[in-house]
């Protein structure tokens, strides 16, 4: 048996099969006794072997029987299944929150077991720890709050952040997800309650990219809230003041970024769910100075572009035909504009034409209808994508979605508006006139109730031959005739973990457009022709570790090509540059943390 065993390094472990064949390296712990039991990073509950109980002063603090990791795992899954049974018939909200609570309790108690059940059951648990349930959790956060997770920097901490950052107990941090809570999914300003989003995103980082959970940090920048309901709620846990604006706001974000950089110069900061004006402004302000990216603008753009290229292949057409695809985007916010920028750039590259010429196939709609150059007070961010009404026969400024769809007959109708149901029956029926043999409908807004349409409505009204994708998961649709409509999940979760991991392993100190484009191209080429022709544009969430390894390798190789890779640990830029594509994927895979109990070694 021993000869099949492999050693893996300390707390940084590589992937193994279920519960056998790995002898994990030791993990250093600076505490003893009950303090270990109360620390979810090290706690093994009843899983501490007797010798370890002796060494760490745990004897007598636990019931005598030692329960194996596998038995603990099964026990948790049994309780989860009984909870499902016991809540059967109750409202979706009650059931989802009960499921989140049982997972959250485990997260707070024993991270190794938590991440193991999460990784092994990612498809089932992603909708609980991520969209859609994470939205519900944020809406109810002040009431659900039991224990803090991550760090909270508020407007009241001005001048203190440089020292506060040292309050975080881990020596090293690789990945930070930061929000100011101002645009949580499609739910608007949720103030401090938005902390659920960085927590959920980082759970996906651990599950998909194998970032070590001891090296992640969810952060809330609480600069107040303009949500009147929260301000009036006596249990609200954030600052009870209106949001800071202008220079006052930016000075808080600046101070935070400087503090992070001072303590962990190589940590990657993912900006998440900032309202549009600050999403664009902070990206421009920091992306040449710090290792950061904005997931809603850049991660979403890559995932959407991969899907758009997939829709071309799903029609049996060559990718070069992307330049002829007519695409209507509903939503001119950080996500919609990010998608347009990247897609237009791709058209220009494929066709060799200018970006101005490339944009003629794209139609942008916001809450006031079709965006044209005739718009009063045209938002400068949307201006590059505004159509000139003279070029679009029969459509005028402010035309409604249904008018645009009827006139343009687009290949793709894509929603990033945050408004549920705007692809109504009339709009979806209008998509039947699409010039495409496989019209595509992307209802990408989150959470589920904010999706522009449901999967059932899309297939019912637009036809069984469409390609459908949504930001939050929907069940596949059974047509009752032996055929099934496939539901894709077009969510930035397919890219951000690989962007983070690839950047980390490359040792690059910036995230460039080239690295992001490599991520998108990798995802676009991930699916087989056979799947794509069936309308399957994205992999199943079950294979997210595999996708992430490929995306991470693509990002790493792009950093090498751009001469930005400084390497990490023993693997320097020269070693990275000499790795083949396959070796890079293997290198990324080997560096994914995988949860097993490591022997704990006490050090003062």
Ligand X SMILES: NC(=O)c1ccc[n+]([C@@H]2O[C@H](COP(=O)([O-])OP(=O)(O)OC[C@H]3O[C@@H](n4cnc5c(N)ncnc54)[C@H](O)[C@@H]3O)[C@@H](O)[C@H]2O)c1
Instruction: Indicate which residue of 201, 359, 406, 407 is catalytic.
Output: 201
Least Cβ distance, residue 395 to ligand LMR (angstroms): 29
Instruction: Check residue 502 for interaction with ligand X (CB under 6 A).
Output: no
Q: How far apart are CA 294 and CA 337, in angstroms?
A: 13
Closest contact distance (angstroms) between CB of 141 and ligand X is 17
Smallest separation (angstroms) from ligand X to the CB of 297: 8
CB-based contacts of 31, cutoff 8 Å, min separation 6: 39, 42, 602
Residue (of 473, 366, 422, 477) closest to 134 by Cα position: 473
Distance CA 488, CA 192 (A): 31
Shortest distance, position 450 Cβ to ligand LMR, whole Å: 9
Calpha distance 100→367 (Å, rounded):
34
Q: How far is the CB of 295 from ligand LMR (least distance, A)?
A: 6
- Which of ligand LMR, Mg ion, ligand X, none interacts with 366 (beta carbon under 5 to 8 A by kind)? ligand X
The response to whether 324 counts as a known ligand-binding position is no
| DSSP codes joined into one string, 190-221 | -GGGGGHHHHHHHHHIIIII---GGGEEEEEE
Given the complex with ligand X, which of 328 and 579 has the nearer CB atom? Answer: 328
212 touches, from ligand LMR, ligand X, Mg ion, none (C-beta below 5 to 8 Å by class): none
Closer to ligand LMR by Cβ: residue 259 or 495: 495
| Region 295-314 residues binding ligand X, contact defined as CB under 6 A | 296, 300, 303
* 201 near ligand X (CB under 6 A): no
Q: Tell me if 358 sits within 8 A of 351, measured CB to CB.
A: yes
Q: Considering the complex, what minimum distance in angstroms separates the CB of residue 295 from Mg ion?
A: 6
The residues, any chain, with a CB within 8 Å of residue 409's CB and separated by 6 or more, are 326, 433, 434, 435
Q: Which is nearer to ligand X, 48 or 474 (CB)?
A: 474
Q: Which residues bind Mg ion (CB under 5 A)?
A: 272-273, 296
Q: Which of 222, 255, 366, 521 binds ligand X (CB under 6 A)?
A: 366
Tell me the CA distances in angstroms from 221 to 101, 129, 138, 245, 492, one per residue in order. 24, 21, 15, 13, 22
521 is in an annotated binding site: no
Q: Does 272 count as an annotated binding residue? A: yes
Task: Let me know: does 488 contact 470? Beta carbons within 8 Å.
Answer: yes
Q: Is 481 annotated as a binding residue?
A: no
Say if residue 446 carries a ligand binding annotation.
yes
Residues 103, 90: Cα–Cα separation, whole Å: 19
- What is the smallest separation between the CB atom of 271 and ligand X, expressed in angstroms? 11
Residue 483, C-beta contacts closer than 8 angstroms, at least 6 positions apart: 464
Binding site annotation covers 183? yes
Under rule CB under 6 A, which residues in 454-483 are in contact with ligand X?
471
Query: Alpha helices of 110-145 — where are they, by DSSP H?
Result: 111-120, 122-129, 133-139, 141-144
CA distance 351 to 358: 8
Question: Is position 73 annotated as part of the catalytic site?
Answer: no
Q: How far apart are CA 164 and CA 544, in angstroms?
A: 35
**Residue 123 binding ligand X, by CB under 6 A:** no
Residue carrying the six token digits 């026990």: 75
Is position 604 annotated as part of the catalytic site? no
294 interacts with, out of ligand LMR, Mg ion, ligand X, none, CB within 5 to 8 A per kind:
none
Q: Which residue is nearest to ligand X (CB)?
A: 333
436 or 489, CB closer to ligand X? 489
User: Considering CB distances under 5 to 8 angstroms, the limit depending on partner class, which of ligand LMR, ligand X, Mg ion, none binds residue 450?
Assistant: ligand X
Question: Among 99, 116, 183, 557, which residue sits at the site for ligand X (rule: CB under 6 A)?
Answer: 183
Distance, in Å, from the CA atom of 116 to the CA atom of 95, rounded to the nearest integer, reads 22
What angle (nearest 5°) sits at the alpha carbon of residue 482, between those of residues 480 and 487? 80
Alpha-carbon gap, residue 116 to 47, rounded angstroms: 14
- Applying CB under 6 A, the residues found at the interface with ligand LMR are 131, 185, 273, 295-296, 446, 471, 491-492
Question: In terms of residues, how long is the chain?
Answer: 604
Catalytic residue among 80, 114, 115, 130: 130
Residues annotated in a binding site for a divalent metal cation: 272-273, 296
Residue numbers in the known binding site are 183, 272-273, 296, 446, 491
Q: Which residues bind ligand X (CB under 6 A)?
A: 183, 185-186, 276, 296, 300, 303, 330-336, 365-367, 416-419, 422, 444-446, 450, 471, 490-492
Annotated binding-site residues for (S)-malate read 183, 446, 491
By annotation, the residues acting in catalysis are 130, 201
């Amino acid at each position: 048996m021993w000869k099949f065993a492999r050693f893996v390094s300390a707390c940084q472990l590589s992937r193994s099969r279920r519960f056998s064949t790995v002898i994990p390296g030791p993990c250093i712990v600076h505490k003893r006794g009950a303090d270990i039991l109360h620390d979810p990073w090290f706690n093994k509950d009843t899983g501490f072997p007797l010798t370890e109980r002796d060494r760490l002063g745990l004897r007598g603090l636990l019931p005598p029987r030692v329960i194996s990791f596998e038995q603990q795992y099964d026990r948790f899954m049994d309780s989860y299944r009984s909870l499902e049974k016991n809540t059967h018939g109750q409202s979706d909200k009650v059931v989802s929150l009960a499921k989140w609570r049982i997972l959250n309790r485990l997260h707070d108690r024993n991270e190794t077991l938590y991440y193991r059940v999460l990784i092994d059951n990612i498809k089932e648990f992603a909708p609980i720890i991520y969209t859609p349930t994470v939205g519900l959790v944020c809406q109810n956060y002040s009431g659900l709050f039991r224990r803090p997770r991550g760090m909270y920097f508020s407007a009241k901490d001005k001048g203190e952040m440089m020292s506060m950052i040292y309050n975080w107990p881990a020596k090293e941090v690789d990945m930070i997800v930061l929000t100011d809570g101002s645009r949580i999914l499609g739910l608007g300003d949720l103030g401090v309650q938005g902390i659920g989003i960085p927590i959920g995103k980082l759970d996906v980082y651990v599950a998909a990219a194998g970032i070590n959970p001891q090296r992640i940090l969810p952060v809330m920048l609480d600069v107040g809230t303009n949500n009147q309901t929260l301000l009036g709620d006596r249990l609200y846990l954030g600052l009870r003041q209106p949001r800071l604006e202008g220079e006052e706001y930016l000075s808080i974000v600046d101070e935070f970024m400087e503090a992070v950089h001072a303590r962990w110069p190589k940590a990657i900061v993912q900006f998440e769910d900032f309202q549009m004006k600050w999403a664009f402004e902070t990206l421009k302000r920091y992306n040449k100075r710090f290792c950061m990216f904005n997931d809603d603008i850049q991660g979403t753009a890559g995932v959407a572009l991969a899907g758009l290229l997939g829709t071309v292949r799903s029609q049996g057409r060559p990718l070069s035909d992307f330049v002829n695809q007519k695409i209507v985007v509903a939503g001119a916010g950080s996500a919609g504009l990010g998608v347009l920028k990247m897609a237009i750039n791709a058209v220009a590259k494929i066709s060799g034409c200018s970006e101005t010429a490339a944009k003629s196939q794209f139609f942008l709609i916001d809450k006031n209808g079709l965006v044209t150059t005739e718009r009063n007070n045209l938002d400068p961010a949307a201006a590059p994508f505004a159509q000139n009404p003279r070029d679009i026969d029969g459509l005028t400024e402010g035309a409604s979605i249904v008018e645009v769809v009827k006139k343009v007959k687009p290949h793709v109708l894509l929603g990033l508006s945050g408004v549920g149901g705007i692809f109504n029956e009339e709009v979806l029926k209008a998509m039947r006139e699409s010039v495409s043999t496989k019209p595509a409908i992307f209802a990408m807004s989150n959470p589920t109730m904010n999706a522009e349409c449901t999967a059932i409505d899309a297939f019912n009204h637009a036809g069984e031959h469409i390609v459908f994708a949504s930001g939050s998961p929907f069940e596949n649709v059974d047509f009752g005739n032996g055929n099934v409509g496939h539901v894709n999940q077009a969510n930035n979760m397919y890219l951000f973990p690989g962007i983070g991991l690839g950047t980390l392993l490359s040792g690059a100190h910036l995230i460039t457009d080239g690295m992001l484009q490599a991520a998108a191209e990798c995802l676009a080429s991930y699916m087989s022709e056979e799947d794509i022709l069936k309308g399957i544009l994205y992999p199943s969430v079950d294979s997210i570790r595999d996708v992430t390894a490929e995306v991470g390798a693509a990002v790493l190789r792009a950093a090498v090509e751009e001469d930005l890779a400084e390497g990490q640990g023993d693997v320097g830029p020269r070693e990275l540059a000499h790795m083949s594509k396959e070796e890079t994927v293997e290198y990324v895979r080997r560096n994914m943390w995988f949860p097993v109990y490591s022997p704990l070694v006490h050090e003062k």
